[in-house]
A = this chain, B = another copy of it.
Amino acid sequence: MFDLAKLGTRMQGLRHDRGMTLAELASVTEVSVSMLSSVERGQKAPTVVVLARIADGLGIGLADLINDVEPRRVIVRRAAEQDAVDEPGGWRRTIVSPVVPGVNLEWVRTTLPGGCDAGEFPAYAPGSHEFVLVEKGALRLSLDGQVTDLLAGDSVYFAADMTHAYANPGSEPCVYSVVALIMRPRGPQRG
């Protein structure tokens, strides 16, 4: 069940952080003072439209307003800037998936020696997906420059239309599998 009280508390905190009164927020959001007060007290459940106006008035995204209300079972990292170095070494990759006509799925199992960098891969066409499972050791995954460290058992999904690089930051070998659903680029496209 959705925790209205928690949402209200969070809303009030954000409003106070900005030094706003209910009346001020009301004039910005076009939501009545009484409604704002009710929502902050968890006494009424706003519609998404009203909540979106409130979030906008607070200068944040609607999802941000909700994110902390719901316990997050996953970690989200957004694409940032591109910043990666590549240097191929003595690593080994195994193509697991047989080539099947009409199926654009690739399954590659890779073993990276300690300290080895598998290099950077270009962004695929939008709509491409990639899954990674670390079986052994540690893997450093860079997505458009955003670094994520993974240990054995960890798995990741990411939209593959961003540059992605794999490296083994540890000293012992790292074994990981990559399953990729690759979309063919439509029309002229680079990469």
- Chain A residues in the interface with B (C-beta under 8 A): 1-2, 4, 7, 45-53, 61-63, 66-67, 69-82, 96-98, 100, 103, 105, 107, 109, 129, 131, 133, 135, 143, 146, 148, 150-159, 162, 177, 179, 181
Contacts and interface: CB of A to CB of B under 8 A. Distances in A.
Contacts of A51: 48
B105 A74 contact: no
Number of copies: 2
Given A76-B150, A129-B105, A151-B79, A157 B49 contact: no
A105 B179 contact: yes
Contacts of A96: 131, 133, 155
Given A155-B77, A155-B97, A157-B98, A61 B52 contact: no
